[in-house]
Amino acid sequence: MHVQDRKGHDLRYAIDPTKINKELGWLSETKFADGIKKTIGWYINNQSWWQPIIDGEYKNYYTKMYGKTEN
């Protein structure tokens, strides 16, 4: 699918690790399917870390430390 205002627009983006493997010897240790499951599990098990961000609670910290914040 070509979008007129975005020349070079791709349908899909994929990372080819060939160059980083060849030049640096790096290979991913985790397959995407496994990594996404672990990531989702982390967010489920660590809601106390991210919930204040969603709630906007972090803004109270900045207001307390630096005064009125912009929205």
pLDDT in tens, 17-43: 899 999 999 999 999 899 999 999 999
Q: Three-state SS for 43? A: helix
DSSP three-state, residue 19: helix
Q: How far is CA 34 from CA 30, 40, 42, 47, in A?
A: 6, 10, 12, 20
What is the pTM for the complete model shown?
A: 0.52
Residues 42-65 pLDDT 10s: 999 999 988 888 888 778 888 888
